[in-house]
Structures are given as C-alpha cells and as structure tokens.
Structure 1
C-alpha cells in the first residue's frame, strides 16, 4: 500500500458510473471493514469521540428512573417473521426524548423507518435507518441531514459484531453482513448529505446497544453493553452528541444564505453559470429543498484576512466514500462584488482532508508554477488548513490518536501506520473547469485532454510528477482565454512528487492513483519499481477510453460479440487490471466511434503506443537476441576480447537501449502529436 490508501473497493466509490443501492451497500460495507478499530471499551470510545470533554455525573436515583423508561423498549412477535423491532421505535423515541428533556439536551428523535424511496424494492437493503437524532431547532428534512442515526434490531444476536473477536480480522456470518452493510450505507448517505468532521450512531440489538463513530481515517465501534440495566453510557453519549463539536457537523460549512442581497447573488450567478454550461440544472436531492437551501456561505482565509463567498448551489462533486480525502467541490462567487459585474471571476472551492505528512496542495501548485503560470495546469488563489492548532481534535481525524493507542500495545510495528493522520484543508482555484464527460463535441474533449497532457509535460519539465491522473483530475477549460488559451488543464496534484526531493525514490515506489485509471504495469511491478512519466500517460489513455465508451455512440468486439460502449466499460474497467491489459492487446483495435473516423483512429494509435510497454514474449526475445548479436558484431572488430563481466555489461546496456527504442514509445510528444 502506498501513501495514498489505495483500494479497488474505495476507488470504485469515486466512479462517475451510478451504482444501484445494493451494490453501493456492499461496497461501503467492505470498505468500512478495512478501516475498523475495535470493538473498544465504552470509555475508550467516549475518549476518542469526545476528547477532552467530561460528561456530567448522574445520580443512581436518576439512572434507576431512566432504566424504568428504557424497559419499555421490547420487540413484538409476528406470525409472519417472528420477533419484529417495529414496536421498539415509539418507546425509544419516548424514553430517549424524556432523558434528553431531563438532562437539558436540545435533541429530538424521529422515526424514519417507513420513509422508503419511491423506487426502493420491497425486499433487500433499506434506504433509511430506523430513527434519526436531530437538533431540537432543526426543521423537518431528510433523515441523512440529521446529527446521528439509530439502527434497531429485535435480538442481541442480530448485532453484526455479535460473534466478532476483537483483534481479529472482521469475518461476519452471512446473517450479519446485511446489517453491517446497511449501517455503513446510512453513514455514507449521511456524509454525502452534510459536510461532517465525524459521524455518530447507535445500534440497538434487543437489550444491548453499541456505539459507532466514523471519520475520514477510521471507523471506531464500542463494545456492546446492556443499556436498560446500565444506561449511563447511553446518556453520556447523548449529552456528548448534543454538546460537543456540533455533533460532528462541520460548523465552518453550516451557514445558510439568509441575506436577501446574497440570495439574489446566488440566483443571478447560478443562472449565468448555467448559461455558460459551468453547472448542470439544479435538482433538489431531498424533497422540499431549494437552490438557496443547498447553497452555503463560508469564509475563506486569504492574505491574512477573510473573504466571504457563497456557493452556487450544492457541490458539483462529492466523494461517495466515507474514508479518505472526502472531497467536496463547489463553484462559488465572492460576496461584495456588484451583482451585475459580469466579468468578475468565479472560483472553485475544494474542501478535503489531506494527509498531514504530505505537502499541501498549495505547495504542489507553487512548485509547478513558481513565479508564472504553467500552461495546462490549474491556477490557484490560496490554500489553508481549516485550523492550525495541532492539538485540534475536530478538524483532524482520529488516525494519529489510534496509531498511538496501537503502538502502546507493544506489538511488532508495520512499515506503515494502521490509520492515516488527516487534516481538514481547503483550496481555492482560479481555474474553472467543466468535467470531461460534459463535452459539447469530441473535438473539444480531445483538445482538453491534449492540453492536459501538455500541462503534465510542463510539470515534468519542472521536476514534478503528478501520479494521480483520473477522469476527475482532467478538466475542460470553462474560459480558455483565462488559461493562456489552454483548452483543458489538470488539477489535484497533492500526490505529486518533487523529483529532486530526498524522499522521491521511496515515494515513487508507492502505488497511488485511482484504480480504474492507474497504469496496468503498476499492479504487476515489484515494490522497487518507480512510477514513471509514461505511467501517467497511460492513465490519460484510460481516461480517454472511459469517456469515449460512456459518452459517445461507439461499439467494439469482445469475444466475437459487438457490444455498445456502456456495456464495454463494465467489462474493461473491472477490479482486475488484466481486463484492461486484454483491451490493449486484443480489443482496442475493434473499437469504432460511429461517424467519427478521426477519433476512432486516434484511439487505435494511442492503444498502439501504450501496447509498446507490454510486449509479447516472442517480441522481447527477438529484441534481446538482436541486442546480443549487435554486441557480438562489435566484439569482432576488437583486437582483444574484453573479460566476460565487461561483455555482460555491454549486452545489458544494448538490451536496455533496444528495448527502449523498440517498445517504450509512449512519450509526451508522440501522444500529443497523435491527438493533434
């Protein structure tokens, strides 16, 4: 595993292809199992969830009263399916509500088990948890916008971790997999609906309960406890939820647009951006919400001061994964400019969680641009960590804390820490781009990719290698005149490597990138093989193929059957790199874009360039033998035959040179000229 926590399951969550609900539940469930820490004791869970916060004491008399209330939570038996949890919902809402009222907690509870989607199947994964926990003053809305959720099952053995042994790999029984996946899917929906620093949940399984916590680096689960006879942990959890860090919701991204002047600004510039094809038409994800509801007012740190921006609607990109960078991207406009000043620039605001050990995105852009802008690479206004206090526990994930806990166990240390230390970060870009798949013509698509490749070459010329070329990191320029006439540009260089840095050799050996677009060779290479320029160029090829297959009228032959582009995508871009290698070797030359011979030929030629890095065994052997023959020819002209070790060295140099000249044809200039 490289510095980027690379995982085919995680990377599939970033795919632009829409997954059905069942597939998404499976994906997030599997991903969460890779980030699990625990079960831990309830006290350890509380310390990790509410660090430095001390819960108020509760008298034994009061605890006894709460136990009496909680005793009302019992399942009922049905003839059809045995015990059912539905009878538990009302008593949970009533007893929890009474506890919150007594403890002066501004929380309320809502039953959302019956809030099914119109197209949700009758059986299978549900799209809503059983109950949600909201702030008392929060208006009614979709459950995913709540502070936390509660999942209820009628029996203790329904707990997905009922048979799990702490310290061992998670190996769930079939009956528990669905419950685990369901809980994780609720967490993923909650993260997508609202910007969060962390998320909390309660699982109630008959007479036992356990707590769940997610942040971008880990998933912590507590031991189960008997909440009816020992309600203190439950009460402390609810108090912490109501009083610590806004319940995990990111308070720096929670300001609505309330001033009429700012609402007019959003509406005016959203319409303008829509006309310029910078944004898709607004669609409310959740019933009852409007463009203004889904826009955000936020403060941006710049030049020692603070500027106020408003986002033009909801994010234009939002990570589907709970873990990792958790990127959200908005198109925004600064408050203060006259509303009719049409030539004022928009900006792109990127909110993410960066690895603290790496350089910041701003550092990477500064290394690329220096004192002048580089053609084909996005321009940056500024970037900053949301908080600068290294002791902050809200805008920094639990990764460092958990790694310290694991180190204290005295177990043999691994090469890499178990969890990544992530810091909340923001980057403001001046370059406004349009996603590749929203191209208005294939000419514009290929020009954007070409200029992105030129930008990549310019980066390399300045000693910086990107290492994360993907479909989301190459953009069509919204206004080429502001990008030095570049029709496209590349973004997201935070995993780039400065080639002359002391750690570059080690960094280049790490496997990074988005799975579907990472060079096939990187999966089959040994650990000591370094990431090279051509690996990124191959990623540009996979980006091109992916967009063309999904968004043009095209088809290709696979196993003698002609299939459409969208079908071919699912057969080529699988979690097995060998399917993409097979595409290069066999299928690429059968691809045909209807009515577009130039684009068809371009892809065929690009596939040929990529294939030079994957020669067949006979080709390799012929090239190797030709190199040896050349050396023998040179030896015949020498008066004295060199020693065997010198001959071996000469053969090695000749073989490497012949291999490069015969096969390694994937270069910036060749790719650019092919597209041109």
Structure 2
C-alpha cells in the first residue's frame, strides 16, 4: 500500500506534492518530460497574433531610476531591512557571447552568491528550466495554455533546487528570461518597435507572468529579463506591465540582491511580494474535514485534483465589522486564460463556519475577477436584485457574500491605523510612503492594498483601464447549458433565464452579455424553483435611479445612461445583428439581449443536437465562423432572410417549431421594435413562445447533448465561446486569430 504525503494526504509514488513537502516524490512517468517546440504550438500565427494583440499598449517603462522603481513597487520592509554586504564581482564570470545558454550557469552562480545570506527559510534557489516543458497550472487550461520552459526559474522562498527537478508552476517564485545581447531588449529605445524579435520576447515574458498569476492566485508578479550585461525587472498585474529602466547588473550587482531580498521579505509579512493575503494553502486536516462533509452532505468524494488546485479564499462579509467568511475551494470550474483583463475564475467551494453549524460545509460558487473601475460593480447589480426580490428571486443567482476586496481591505487598514482620531505609522504604511514625495505621498490609504492595479496609472492611461479585485459567493450553482440531459431541459433552462432577464430589467438591470457561458442549468443538489438561470453581470447596465426598495449604495454612480448603453459589450457570436452593423454606438435595448438568446439557442442546437442544414458551410457554421463585424453581420442577415428557415431538426417537432418561430420574431425586430405589440421582440412574446413550445407533445426523451461535433476553432467541445468584445474595432482583426487560441469558456457557476 502506498504511504501518504504528510502535507496533503495524497498517495506518494505518482504524486508531486503542491506544497513541496519532504515526502513528495517525482512521478515515474515524467522522467523524460521534455518535448520539442512543435508541441508547444508557440510558433502558430494565431498564437502569436493573439499575444501581440493582448500585449499591445500594455507595456510601459517606468520614468524614474531603478532605485526609485524598487522603492515604489517593491518597498523595503522596516522589520527586515537589507543587511549591508559587498556583492561586487558576483557576475564577473558572465561571458560576452551571442549564445544565451553560455550565460545560464554563470548567472546561476552569481544569483546564488547574491542571496546566500538570506535566511534558509526564505532563500530562493535557482534552476535551469530551459530544457523542461512546464505544463499549464491547471488541467482545464491545457487547451488554451501551451507548455513552456523559462530559461531560469527561482523556487518559492525556502525551497530547494530539487523541488524544480520536474518543474511545475506551483513551485516557481519568479522566472528569468535571458537574451545574449542588449539589442534584444524589447523596450530598448531606438530599436524596431514592431520587430518580430521584440514581439517574441514580450510574448515570453507575458506567458510566464500569466502562468505565475494563475498558479499562485497572486495580485501581481515580478519577472526578470536579462539582455547581455543589462537587465530589466517587470511587474505584471491585470491592467498591464511596468518595466524598470534598464540597468547594468555587472556594474550594479546590488540591484538583484535588493530585488530578491525584498521579494521574499515584503512589508505585508506574506511569504512573497504579490501574494494575495486573502488566499492561503489548506492543511491536511482541512482536506479531512472537506472529505467528511462531502460524504455526509452530498454523498460525494473529494474531486480529483482538489488537493492541487484547492485554496482557502477569504470573502468579505455583508457586515463590514465582521470577520471575512472562509471558503475552501475544491474544484476549479472556470478560469480565463488571458493575462490582462477580468481574469475571471470560478470555484466550487465549501463554506467553513463552525462544527455543527448547518451551513458548515455547504457548497457555494465563488467568483473571482478584476473589474474595470469605470464599470458598475457586479455585486452592486446582484445586491439590487436580492433587495428587490428577496426570497422570490427567480432565474437569477442569489448574492450571499463578497464585494470589492480593495474597498474591504482599505476599510480594514483604516480601522487599524486610526487610533483615537490619529493615524498610526504602521510598518506597511511606512514602507509604502517612506520613499515617496510630492503627489505620491498624499493618497496614502487607497494604495496600501494590492487589490487595485497600478499599471494604468503609471502608463498615464484613463482610470477606466485600472482594475479592482472582486470576489463573491452564491449558493446558486450551475452547469453549462451544453451539458443538458434532454433538449426539453435545455429549452426550459433558457426560458427560466429569460424570466431572470425580465426580472433583472424590471429592477433596473440590463444584462448585455447573453452567451453560452452565462446561461446555466441548476445543478441537481441545489434546491431552486427554476431549472436555469442567468449569471455573470460583469457587463450589465444598471439604472442610476434605483427602485425604492434598493439602498443608495447599490445604485451606480458612473456614466450617464445613454453613454453607458452605447458602450458595445457582449460575446461576439451572440451579438445582435443591429449592434454588429452599427458603425457607431447605439443604445443597447432589451430586444438586443432577446435576440442574443436566440443565437444562443442556435449555437446549442447546431453543436449539440442532430440538426442538419442544406448549406452545411453557409448555414449556422457561417454565423459562428466569422469574427469580422461586416462578415458576421452579413451571415446573420442572410440567416434572417432565408437560411434560418432551412434548419432541420429531425425527430423533434417542438424544437424545430421554436427555432422557426423565434427567427421570424428576430427578423421582424432586427432594426427596431415592431409597432405591433403582438409581433414585437419582448419578454412577454418570447416567454409565450417558449411556453407554447414546452407545452407541445413530441419532445424526445433522453436526447442528451452531443459532444462529438468540432466547432470552427477545432475544439472537441463547444462550451468555450470566444471572449467578449468591448467594441474596440481596431483590434477586431487581431482578435479573429486570437480567439482560436484563447477562447472564452463556459462558466459553470453563478455570476
């Protein structure tokens, strides 16, 4: 019988412990885990174009000195000041060469000398990982994230080189990408800005940053780039990358010493700079508790891989004076594979209260994302819906806990720092302000939290590009619409989601992002009066004037109604024809969302049922193939005009009737709402149509979703529609190729 890992209780022989305890062993089948570059597919045009589009405009060089850069973005800890020590000559053995591999060993030795006086419990080790192909942090990302091999990797603080003998991202603290010459610096002034060499170097940096952020759930990460005898330090968050000015590390070796000392001695008191203080690793006793409550409450075992992906997540309570709620994430349901942007992650988690409490061990869906500051808070929308409908909430997720982590943490620090009306100088506050002057020293409190990005501000972009860290929990847990057990169940779920959409609009909230990832089927163990619900209110519009039952705090105080409604949002394949055709912004109306529900129905029918079309390559496939505004609009117009009525759904008369009736309703209202109320695309007419179809005889029994068809991007399943478009047409052509690599997944949870 296999012994158990003393840290995470997994069987040892084929197990790499995510916590790198002494009992972890190298997997037997990974002894030759080195693949060729072709397997990574990093050379594919779609991969390159996707990353170039994402990186475009998101790299900025800090205008101050390298010392000012470190003081601002990696401040010293007053409790752990850097000891004085001479490290001159640490990199004298680094050769001048055009072969970067010749630099690896001398750089490793120099870095080891630099960190030799860091206490062993905090000291990182440096490993050559260039020959390894490190897989994606989570299995669910393997289709979107290709294996990669950084040149040098540092271990997490206090871990030995052996922990990276078979490297995984969970064990890497930071990476060092090396180029042989200074000319290969991607941000060097005077170089060719758009050269392929520069773009490729940026891609490497961005891919490493994305993988580190995913693996550790950090708020930001640091990466080093070495170019001959010069180097830069890069700080990545979800809004962009701030690069340090270039410096000569041979002439100033103390810079790397200062960097690594501060990296593992952050003022926050955490293990490494950038770590999220609201995230922590579970212990073996936590997994025993989780296994017990799953068996007792749900007759289930712990999900496979839970011990690797699991984390404790703290979520603000609705009571601002109460301690945060604790949730043990046991299953990763969705993770956005992008580096910059919302970075949405959804977990199934168990709430931890106290032993014997009825809610102890209850399943929740926990959503983590980074919201653009200009957009209304998703939790504000959910709070309004909860206040408006209370226990009568139908077709919508119930909001239980959570909100803006940056606001919550700033409030916590405000309470800690204020003593009888005076602000106490805490170590963390000193570290943030001690080396600042002028404008940087004034807004103290908002900047002591890492739950707000800072890249956009440094790049002098509009505040709308900055992001806040959001996290909330709901008991309304769902699975993708593409996993229906019968087509009648699928249509029932869509009907309930339309009711939810109607309820939201009656409360002053317009969803504006109907897609395959946002209409979910309620899981069997969840007791709800509805079968489907509408989730993900990130892009929703909320009326400024809230209903009387809603608290003023829930009202959105952002842009005017017209301005906000003219901001184009949505998931590309499901956008209404009129929004695609508009050369300038038009007001997003209810009928546009109801048309998106129709495109969702056709998407599910085409990819997951036994349907056919006389024009196989000019029918539904043409609608969902194009990612150019004009081509996609032309395809949808042709579908409304003639092709939509040729869809054949054998053996399912009610579904065939519904598809035919709905296309007529959409075509009649494609330009404006029909003046005849009986023919208008309204909630009442759509729900009447859905109820009529569901009341018909002839629904097949057990016609579960088919997963065999391959969508246009070559994926085996189609519960991964493309990323949401925000109307930035200058990037639309880039996005067309980008989305084949970086598709948006079906979010199998609420909100």
Please indicate, yes or no, whether the TM-score normalized by the shorter chain is above 0.5. Answer: yes
Cα distance in structure 2, aligned partners of 1:527 and 1:474: 28
Judged with a 3 Å threshold, the aligned counterparts in structure 2 of structure 1 residues 663 and 334 are, in CA distance, closer, same or farther, namely closer
Of 527, 532, 553, which aligns to 1:482? 527
Question: Which residue of structure 2 aligns with residue 380 of structure 1?
Answer: 399
Which whole-Å deviations, capped at 9, do the CAs of 1:177-205 have from their partners, x for residues lacking one? 22222222222222222211001101112
Residue 370 of structure 2 aligns to a residue whose secondary structure is strand
Question: Which residue of structure 2 aligns with residue 361 of structure 1?
Answer: 378
Of 103, 116, 120, which aligns to 1:88? 103
Confirm or deny: 8 A CA contact 2:512 2:569 kept in the other structure.
Answer: yes
Cα distance in structure 1, aligned partners of 2:280 and 2:509: 38
Question: Which residue of structure 2 aligns with residue 193 of structure 1?
Answer: 215
Q: Is structure 2 residue 625 aligned with structure 1 residue 571?
A: yes
Residue 219 of structure 2 aligns to a residue whose secondary structure is coil
After TM superposition, list the pairs within 5 Å mapping 1:587-602 onto structure 2: 587-593=643-649, 595-602=651-658
1:343 is displaced (CA, Å) by: 11
Structure 2 unaligned regions, length at least 5: 1-39, 137-144, 411-445, 546-556, 692-751
Question: Which residue of structure 2 aligns with residue 34 of structure 1?
Answer: 57
Which whole-Å deviations, capped at 9, do the CAs of 1:141-193 have from their partners, x for residues lacking one? 6442322211112222223334667xxxx942123322222222222222222
Cα distance in structure 2, aligned partners of 1:668 and 1:365: 20
Residue 427 of structure 1 aligns to a residue whose secondary structure is strand
Larger Rg: 1
1:500 is displaced (CA, Å) by: 4.7
Residue 233 of structure 2 aligns to a residue whose secondary structure is strand
Confirm or deny: 8 A CA contact 1:192 1:319 kept in the other structure.
Answer: no
Aligned pairs, number: 573
Which whole-Å deviations, capped at 9, do the CAs of 1:366-405 have from their partners, x for residues lacking one? 22232523211111112233243123241111056426xx
1:224 is displaced (CA, Å) by: 2.5
Which whole-Å deviations, capped at 9, do the CAs of 1:462-490 have from their partners, x for residues lacking one? 2221222232222111249733x111111
Q: Which has the higher helix share?
A: 1
1:282 is displaced (CA, Å) by: 4.7
Which whole-Å deviations, capped at 9, do the CAs of 1:561-601 have from their partners, x for residues lacking one? 488x7x667624x2446325413423434444454443344
Confirm or deny: 8 A CA contact 1:333 1:345 kept in the other structure.
Answer: yes
Q: Is structure 2 residue 463 aligned with structure 1 residue 421?
A: no
Judged with a 3 Å threshold, the aligned counterparts in structure 2 of structure 1 residues 134 and 526 are, in CA distance, closer, same or farther, namely same
- Report the more deviating stretch, 94-103 or 495-504: 495-504
Q: TM-score w.r.t. structure 2 length?
A: 0.68
Of 491, 515, 524, which aligns to 1:470? 515
Which whole-Å deviations, capped at 9, do the CAs of 1:421-449 have from their partners, x for residues lacking one? 32222211121111222222222222111
Question: Which residue of structure 2 aligns with residue 612 of structure 1?
Answer: 668
Q: CA RMSD in A?
A: 3.7
1:47 is displaced (CA, Å) by: 4.7
Which whole-Å deviations, capped at 9, do the CAs of 1:506-538 have from their partners, x for residues lacking one? 221222233333334224435562111112222
Residue 267 of structure 1 aligns to a residue whose secondary structure is helix
Question: Which residue of structure 1 aligns with residue 334 of structure 2?
Answer: 317
Judged with a 3 Å threshold, the aligned counterparts in structure 2 of structure 1 residues 357 and 220 are, in CA distance, closer, same or farther, namely same
Residue 510 of structure 1 aligns to a residue whose secondary structure is coil
Q: Which has the higher contact order (CA 8 A, sep 6+)?
A: 2
After TM superposition, list the pairs within 5 Å mapping 1:264-663 onto structure 2: 264-268=288-292, 282=303, 284=305, 291-302=306-317, 303=319, 304-306=321-323, 309-336=326-353, 345-371=362-388, 372=390, 373-386=392-405, 387-389=408-410, 390-399=446-455, 401-402=457-458, 406=460, 417=462, 420-479=465-524, 482-483=527-528, 485-501=529-545, 503-525=560-582, 527=584, 529-556=586-613, 558=615, 561=617, 571-572=625-626, 574-576=627-629, 578-586=631-639, 587-593=643-649, 595-614=651-670, 660-661=675-676
Question: Which residue of structure 1 aligns with residue 181 of structure 2?
Answer: 155
After TM superposition, list the pairs within 5 Å mapping 1:245-264 onto structure 2: 245=268, 246-260=271-285, 262-264=286-288
Confirm or deny: 8 A CA contact 1:361 1:427 kept in the other structure.
Answer: no
Cα distance in structure 2, aligned partners of 1:361 and 1:536: 18
1:50 is displaced (CA, Å) by: 2.4
Residue 147 of structure 1 aligns to a residue whose secondary structure is strand
Structure 1 unaligned regions, length at least 5: 1-18, 77-82, 285-290, 407-415, 616-655
Judged with a 3 Å threshold, the aligned counterparts in structure 2 of structure 1 residues 667 and 264 are, in CA distance, closer, same or farther, namely same
Cα distance in structure 2, aligned partners of 1:40 and 1:544: 51
Confirm or deny: 8 A CA contact 1:51 1:393 kept in the other structure.
Answer: no
Question: Which residue of structure 2 aligns with residue 175 of structure 1?
Answer: 197
Judged with a 3 Å threshold, the aligned counterparts in structure 2 of structure 1 residues 339 and 436 are, in CA distance, closer, same or farther, namely farther
Confirm or deny: 8 A CA contact 2:476 2:526 kept in the other structure.
Answer: no
Judged with a 3 Å threshold, the aligned counterparts in structure 2 of structure 1 residues 445 and 581 are, in CA distance, closer, same or farther, namely farther
Question: Which residue of structure 2 aligns with residue 127 of structure 1?
Answer: 148
Cα distance in structure 1, aligned partners of 2:563 and 2:179: 48
Residue 587 of structure 2 aligns to a residue whose secondary structure is coil
Confirm or deny: 8 A CA contact 2:154 2:174 kept in the other structure.
Answer: yes
1:497 is displaced (CA, Å) by: 2.5
Residue 107 of structure 1 aligns to a residue whose secondary structure is coil
Cα distance in structure 2, aligned partners of 1:269 and 1:26: 47
Of 144, 160, 167, which aligns to 2:169? 144
Confirm or deny: 8 A CA contact 2:372 2:464 kept in the other structure.
Answer: no
